[in-house]
Structure 1
Amino acid sequence: MNGFVEAMGQVAGAVSVVTVRDERDDVGTTVSTLTSISLDPPLVMVSMANRGYLNELLLRRDRWAVSVLSVEQKTIASSFAAAGRPGARLLLAGTPHHRGPLSEALVVEGGVTALEAETTQVVPAGDHTLYIARVLGVDYVDSSASPLVRLRGRYRSVG
């Protein structure tokens, strides 16, 4: 598919961090594919690359959190996107965060919103896996914060 990556790079996506609690550590990654699927019941979807420990973990653990980052959180987005990154607790050292009461996953504070979710359906999709999840709770909403988006291969602010 000549030009597919470039074409999809023209589509802006909100930058989020998905986290899940493992027995040994907390694991997380940066995604730009959080999508609302349904209002009744409230469902969201994230897409994960098939390679990597987080995808394996999400196949075993149903509950997770997603923190939609603000423009001030580019460093967090980059840290969670880096190859060979350490566990989520180390990545969030010095950054306001807490453990979600419903998912037990780490929730990044200071973003535009954060949700806790429970996977209801797993859909293989090429080199990715789609996780459709019921929203267990909305941790916070800050409508005054500007969201961080990924567009044309870079993190950008909106407006």
Structure 2
Amino acid sequence: MSSSGFTLIELMVTIAVLAIIVSIAAPSISTQLANQRVKSTTATLANALKEAKAESVIRRQNVTLSYDNSSSPKKIVITASDTNSSVIASYNYNAQSNIKPIATTNITFAPSKRIISIDDITYTICDSNASATSRQIEVDRVANITSRMGGKCS
């Protein structure tokens, strides 16, 4: 008499092979998710910087962008330099991402399409997962905003 189906040993071997494949793929997926978080935070910061630059020209006054890595949720805030320091826009970014400045957490755009700073400002975006690739956003004196891979997170 022949029976159709799988034996217990065949099922155990199949499950063992699947477990090995999953254990190999899991770190790669984790790193990809971390890289995506960094990419998303970089895009959010770059868009906020561009909006602050445009708002300073439109409003004909200084506009300041600041961020807070310690708040919950983490925020990027654009404020006008009027008497009320009114908030123009606010953006949340991923809790596992950090924005690290070389100099300051604030950047002020002047209506003359320049930043009020002695030097260029570089922001490094990092993730809590150390295997993620960091990214940098640089704002030069004439308020050109560029993004690139790299930077140190330690």
What's the TM-score, normalizing by structure 1? 0.28
Q: Greater share of strand residues, 1 or 2?
A: 1
Q: Greater share of helix residues, 1 or 2?
A: 2
Bigger CA radius of gyration: 2
